Amino acid sequence: MFKKIMKGANRKASKAEANDSSMYGFDPPGRSGPGSNMIVNHASRGSLVPSSPGSMAAATQPPPMYSVEPLPLFRDVSVSERQSLFLRKLQICCFQFDFTDTLKNAREKEIKRQTLLELVDFIQSGAGKLSEVCQEEMVKMISVNIFRCLPPASHENTGQEPADLEEEEPYLEPSWPHLQLVYELLLRYIVPSDTDTKVAKRYIDHSFVLRLLELFETEDPREREYLKTILHRIYGKFMVHRPFIRKAMNNIFYRFIYETERHSGIGELLEILGSIINGFALPMKEEHKLFLIRALIPLHKPKPIAMYHQQLSYCIVQFVEKDYKLADTVIRGLLKFWPVTNCTKEVLFLGELEEVLEATQTVEFQRCMVPLFQQIARCLSSSNFQVAERALFLWNNEHVVGLIAQNRGVILPIIFASLEKNIESHWNQAVHGLSANIKRMFMEMDPELFEDCQQQYEEKQAKSKQVEEQRQSRWRRLDEAVEEREREDPMITS
């Protein structure tokens, strides 16, 4: 009777599902369907028979499982049977369930959760060295569970313009009770020092890493945190994957900057990069400098920069601390992407600029100080008090003040007019007070230079006033000429 039921179920399974099932190392279960509790996909695999006769008993493939039933605990079986039991438990964990309905398959879901917990404990305890077959099947089980189509973003469902990411409620993955344990299992497999990378890299290959990177688009912050940790561990353990990971991350940044401006995991990817940059050997490779110029600096362009600016700023500063000659490149890059109308971004840029200047040496500073302080002067005179105040706070940094003092002959004439205008007419009292303090600082620093700047400013103001008076005078003469012409010829007005 059971064989007839299973035969009928197999007829219902589509050809595509049968093809998909061939990727599993055992006869995998199907996904939940509306017509029945379980649809079973069948696949046979002969390559699982181990090459060495001594390991035959431990690695023999168990018969396919067609339902989720609890299995014995590892401690309840002999050591020789644990590898086979491990494979059977992996089969259970390949069953997929619908988590949108919490009551559907509740018993099977709990069995799978308990089985995943047992697998995590078994890997963590190091009770036995896993055979290559077990490692392969474990990675395949992990792939079945974590690699999936992510749900569309909220704005994609409604067709509306994407809202501010900071204001959106984060999407939480309904299958997280299982998914978390799968990620934990992957982490416990990668982290231990006794994991043989020569064997593991066969299964944790480029395809696996690329699909892992694609998952960073998930909106669930819990999943992104696990992905960040796992990818960082893979980068550290599998040296063969390092160039590939950097290139793949590069491509994600390019697509985000120039196409979508929408990605949930940019911050997490930049956190990984911060650690990678910290480990770069000196002298720095040209490849890494190009990455800074082509990917990291343009990341200042997208509108949602506030979501990842802290991590981006850390990466940028790491580059400057590693190679001080990059300071000029970084500062000019910031100036290139400096926001014009977005005051919130301007405040972020000023904060990052201060961190970069702290790591900048005099020679590099002198190369870019003129365009830099032309931009700072515009910030000083901004009508937005947060921008003006943040620019004025640069003078609270001792290293920045030291750089300015050494080059005051160039800098003070650039910013003097902005300071004077703030003192004369800025509406915010804090900006007015800070501007007066900086003016006083320059006066004490170099009285002669200050007097020259004061005189030049007054002459410029007088000249501007004279130009304005001449302009007004010309308009008055023009008005008088028109009135006189109208009196002489009344027909003009009619």
Residue with the two structure tokens 């003006």: 388
For 362-372, what is the mean pLDDT?
Answer: 96
Burial-class residue 296 by CB neighbours within 10 Å (0-12, 13-18, 19+).
Answer: buried
> Pseudo-torsion of CA 24, 29, 31, 34, nearest 10°?
150
Q: If pLDDT is split at 50, 70 and 90, which confidence band does 462 have?
A: confident
Query: Residue 163 has which token pair?
Result: 């809202």
Q: How many residues does the chain have?
A: 494
Supply the pLDDT for residue 6.
42
pLDDT tens digit sequence for 155-213: 565 555 555 555 567 788 999 999 999 999 999 999 988 888 999 999 999 999 999 99
Supply the pLDDT for residue 61.
54
Average pLDDT of the chain? 85
Judged by average pLDDT, the poorest of 97-101, 198-202, 397-401 is 97-101
Asked whether the predicted pLDDT for residue 367 surpasses 80, the reply is: yes
Asked whether the predicted pLDDT for residue 366 surpasses 60, the reply is: yes
Supply the pLDDT for residue 492.
63
Give 244's contacts (C-beta < 8 A, 6+ positions apart): 206, 209
More confident residue, 128 or 425: 425
Confirm if 209 and 234 have CB atoms less than 8 A apart. Answer: yes
**Amino acid present at 459:** E
Give 132's contacts (C-beta < 8 A, 6+ positions apart): 50, 199
Asked whether the predicted pLDDT for residue 243 surpasses 80, the reply is: yes
Largest separation between any pair of C-alpha atoms in the chain: 121
Q: If pLDDT is split at 50, 70 and 90, which confidence band does 432 have?
A: very high
Supply the pLDDT for residue 33.
39
Give 108's contacts (C-beta < 8 A, 6+ positions apart): 67, 68, 95, 97
SS3 422: helix
More confident residue, 227 or 100: 227
pLDDT tens digit sequence for 335-364: 999 999 999 999 999 999 999 999 999 999
Supply the pLDDT for residue 164.
56
For 21-30, what is the mean pLDDT?
Answer: 37
Q: If pLDDT is split at 50, 70 and 90, which confidence band does 422 have?
A: very high
Judged by average pLDDT, the poorest of 90-99, 136-145, 206-215, 374-383 is 90-99
Confirm if 300 and 334 have CB atoms less than 8 A apart. Answer: yes
CA distance 31 to 148: 12
Supply the pLDDT for residue 159.
52
Consecutive H or E run containing 353: helix 343-358
What pTM does this model have?
0.80
Asked whether the predicted pLDDT for residue 154 surpasses 70, the reply is: no
Express as a percent the part of the chain with pLDDT over 70: 82
For 313-320, what is the mean pLDDT?
Answer: 97
pLDDT tens digit sequence for 268-314: 999 999 999 999 999 999 999 999 999 999 999 999 999 999 999 99
